[in-house]
Amino acid sequence: MGLFIRRWGGNKKLFDYRILHCYTVRRTIGLYGQQLEGEFQMPNGKVIAPGAVIGILGDGQLGKMIAMAAARLGYKVAVLGPIGRESPAGQVAYWAEAWGPNAQVEDEQFERFCSLVAVVLIEWENVPVGLLERIEARGIPVRPSSKVLAVAQDRLLEKKLARELDIGETMLLSIEKGYDLLNGRGDRTQDWPFETILKTRRAGYDGKGQARIPAGGSVGDAWTKLGNVPCILEQVVDFIGEVSVIVARREDGETAIYGPFQNTHRDGILRLTQYPISGGPMYDLRDSIREQGYAAARKLTEYLRVDGLLAVEFFVTKEGYVLFNEMAPRPHNSGHLTIECCDTSQFEQYVRAACNLPLGSTHCHSPGEMLNILGSEANDWLRRVGEDRLAVHLYGKGEAKPGRKMGHTTITAFAPNDE
């Protein structure tokens, strides 16, 4: 160290800093060493090490953000989805191809994909369960598994599961071919004295596949409007707010949990997420909401033995009850702000859980807000890019159709003494 002092002595300030830095680094390495041996819980099971190729089914913005997190950890990504190379995820992937109509994957393409990947992740909920089963039959883990996806794809199955696990939910009845499945009645057209909402069991997103029915309105008419496909009928909840919770779980049962995120929807589409809950009617109830949301999300994750990620959406009633709405075995729009606001983003956490790496801290170091950029709002990108404390994400999608999620912005608020 004496030699060091003489050599760098010309610039006292720089020299002091360097010595301090060396000292700090050595101490920190020492601390990490202890942590790894002591407190740190190393995963049981097979670790998929950086350098491997991670497969992603679906090629939208969630895939893009998973791919970027995976790349940072040294993985490559192979993407199979409806658009392929020009898709949001395809643009940043190592390998990308488009599957056929209705997500059909021909044998040769299936072989090409399977020969590359060590594990497969999901970014789109409507991937055919059969495709996941085919991959699993090849001995390649799909995380979360085909069994989890089969439940999450069907509103009836997920609500029934919530009911079985004693998690409050909103379903009144289920309709299939004009027959009320839950109550065993042939008459499905009972008109309810309060507002209800009819939802297709499958393939709904961003409020699509839903019809609101006013008090006393005809369920039958709404069912016809939705094409007479299997549906569930829900009571419309007069909620004080909507929240979501995201759980990452490794195959050996280790979990990391985020939320509750406070979500505001407009026309059935998520508009704004705030984290943590920092005002409004849910503020005083925030501890109880967190407790109820975490308990419910953990019950579901444990029961389904999710390895990977599970996002759960809830309504919060005036009385402070947290009611299950739906779940998704993939990253969630409300978790996008974890990129800027938390130690580990939901995308990186998903990669960590799926590859059986140690999970990262979910600590929220900066409160923040995420606003979706919908349709033609994307044309305003130049002004957005220029604003302070605003992270802009543009997904690289082609046409800005009305309501289409084209990107999002996250604004972070720091404590004043961080200035």
Structural contact between residues 129 and 146, judged by C-beta atoms closer than 8 angstroms: yes
Minimum distance from residue 29 beta carbon to ligand ATP (Å): 44
SS (H, E, C) 73-97: CCCEEEEEECCHHHCCCHHHCCEEE
- Asked whether position 325 contacts ligand ATP by CB under 6 A, the answer is yes
Q: At its nearest, how many Å lie between ligand ATP and the CB of residue 324?
A: 11
Residue 51 in contact with residue 75, Cβ under 8 Å?
Answer: yes
320 with 289: CB under 8 angstroms?
A: yes
Q: Per-residue x/- marks for ligand ATP, 326-355, CB under 6 A?
A: x-----------------------------
| Cα–Cα nearest to 408, from 56, 59, 65, 57 | 65
The residue (of 207 and 220) whose beta carbon lies closer to Mg ion is: 207
- Counting Cα atoms < 13 Å in the Cβ hemisphere of 275 gives 31
Least Å distance, CB 267 to ligand ATP, is: 9
The tally of CA atoms less than 13 A away on the side-chain side of residue 156 is 16
Beta bridge partners of 391: 410
Cβ atoms within 10 A of the Cβ of 238, count? 10
Binding-site partner at residue 270 among Mg ion, ligand ATP, none, CB < 5 to 8 Å by type: ligand ATP
> Could you tell which of ligand ATP, Mg ion, none binds residue 136, using a CB distance below 5 to 8 A set by kind?
none
Residues 292 to 331 in contact with Mg ion, rule: CB under 5 A: 313
Q: Which residues of 242-263 are buried (b: 16+ CB within 10 A; e: fewer)?
A: bbbbbbbbbbeebbbbbbbbbb
- Give the CA distances from residue 307 to residues 253, 351, 360, in Å, rounded to whole numbers and listed in that order: 8, 11, 15
Least CB distance from residue 205 to Mg ion, whole Å? 8
Least distance to ligand ATP from the beta carbon of 203, Å? Answer: 9
Residue 275 Cβ, how far from Mg ion at the closest point, in Å? 17
Amino acid at 7: R
| DSSP result, 324-344 | EEEEESS--GGGTTHHHHBSS
* φ and ψ at residue 382, rounded to 5 degrees: -65, -40
Contact between 46 and 107 under an 8 Å Cβ cutoff? The reply is no
372 binds ligand ATP (CB under 6 A): no
Report the residue from 62, 142, 149, 270 that binds ligand ATP according to the rule CB under 6 A: 270
* CB of residue 234 to ligand ATP, shortest distance in Å: 4
Q: Which does 204 bind (CB under 5 to 8 A by kind): Mg ion, ligand ATP, none?
A: ligand ATP
CB closer to ligand ATP out of 237 and 357: 237
| 46 makes contact with ligand ATP (CB under 6 A) | no
Q: State the number of CA atoms in the 13 A half-sphere of 97 facing the CB.
A: 16
Q: If contact means CB under 5 to 8 A according to the sort of partner, which of Mg ion, ligand ATP, none does residue 97 touch?
A: none
Cα 111 from chain centroid (whole Å)? 28
Instruction: Give residues 188-247 in contact with ligand ATP (rule: CB under 6 A).
Output: 197, 199, 204-208, 234, 236-237, 242
Cβ nearer to ligand ATP, comparing 206 with 377: 206
Total binding residues toward ligand ATP, as defined by CB under 6 A? 19
How far, in Å, CA of 281 to CA of 265, rounded?
A: 16
Site for ligand ATP in 133-172 (CB under 6 A): 170
- Residue of the chain from 82, 268, 360, 396 that contacts ligand ATP (CB under 6 A): 268
Please, which residue, 83 or 151, has the CB nearer to Mg ion? Answer: 151
Q: Least distance from C-beta 326 to ligand ATP, angstroms?
A: 5
Binding site for Mg ion (CB under 5 A): 313
> Which residue ranges make up the site for ligand ATP (CB under 6 A)?
170, 197, 199, 204-208, 234, 236-237, 242, 265, 268-270, 313, 325-326
